[in-house]
């Protein structure tokens, strides 16, 4: 134990450095979580909005299927879920970009970036949560484009063929002769 000028018992220097090191690691982890949670709301909001915008293009076709073909709502929900990977391949990277821009815009507007930089955190260290977040989005997008989207397309075609077969069997009544259409 070390005695300081004021007579208080202090800690040896290696314990002080250890506590500063642990404290700085805790603060960095706290900063990472803070920036990550700044990214999350704009990411989810922009992802939802972009998916809705792209979905409006397909909505007319889906309404036509329900009205004219009489497809059930469960089949419609299945079709929407099978279309989702193709939407997400387009919207995930754009939503990540929008989230990072809006998160750092808010941090900059509230002068939090200046406070973080004044605390001695480098610019590259501030951006590390964004790099990790965009890396996760990249991996998810790659998975969806390589495996999710092809699987969904094949499943959607299989479902469409089964719906067409069901319609063909419903159109033919047993015990009734069907006459060819003249002309």
pLDDT tens, residue by residue, 70-95: 777 888 888 889 899 999 999 999 99
Is 37 a member of any domain? yes
The pLDDT of 4-16, averaged and rounded, is 56
- Bigger pLDDT: 61 vs 97: 97
Residue 46, pLDDT above cutoff 60: yes
Q: Report if residue 9 sits inside a domain.
A: no
pLDDT for residue 107 is more than 80: yes
| Residue 130: partners with Cβ closer than 8 Å, 6 or more residues away | 35, 39, 100, 103, 104
Overall domain count for the chain: 1
For residues 2 and 90, the model is more confident at 90
Does residue 70 form part of some domain?
yes
Is the predicted pLDDT of residue 180 greater than 70, yes or no?
A: no
Residue 172 has pLDDT above 90, yes or no: no
Structural domain that includes position 37: 27-162
Q: Is residue 94 part of a domain?
A: yes
Domain annotation covers residue 92: yes
pLDDT-derived band of residue 1, with 50, 70 and 90 as boundaries?
very low
Residue 181, pLDDT score: 66
pLDDT tens-digit readout, 132-165: 999 999 999 999 999 999 999 999 898 878 877 7
Between the CA of residue 79 and those of 9, 75, 95, 143, 159, what are the distances in Å?
Answer: 71, 6, 23, 20, 8
Contact 32, 128 (CB under 8 A): yes
Assess if residue 72 is contained within a domain: yes
| Res 6 pLDDT > 70 | no
Q: What is the mean pLDDT of the chain?
A: 82
């Amino acid at each position: 134990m070390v005695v300081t000028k004021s007579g208080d018992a202090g800690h040896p220097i290696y314990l002080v450095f250890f506590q500063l090191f642990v404290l700085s690691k805790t603060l960095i982890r706290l900063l990472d979580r803070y920036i990550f949670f700044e990214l999350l709301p704009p990411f989810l909001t922009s992802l939802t909005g972009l998916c809705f915008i792209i979905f409006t293009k397909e909505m007319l076709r889906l309404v036509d299927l329900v009205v004219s073909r009489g497809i059930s709502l469960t089949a419609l929900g299945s079709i929407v879920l099978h279309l989702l990977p193709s939407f997400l391949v387009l919207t995930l990277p754009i939503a990540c970009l929008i989230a990072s821009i809006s998160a750092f815009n808010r941090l900059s507007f509230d002068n939090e970036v200046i406070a973080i930089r004044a605390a001695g955190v480098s610019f590259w260290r501030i951006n590390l949560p964004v790099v990790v977040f965009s890396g996760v989005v990249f991996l998810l997008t790659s998975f969806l484009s390589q495996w999710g989207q092809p699987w969904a397309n094949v499943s959607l075609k299989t479902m469409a063929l089964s719906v067409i077969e069901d319609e063909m069997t419903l159109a033919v009544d047993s015990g009734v002769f069907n006459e060819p259409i003249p002309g």
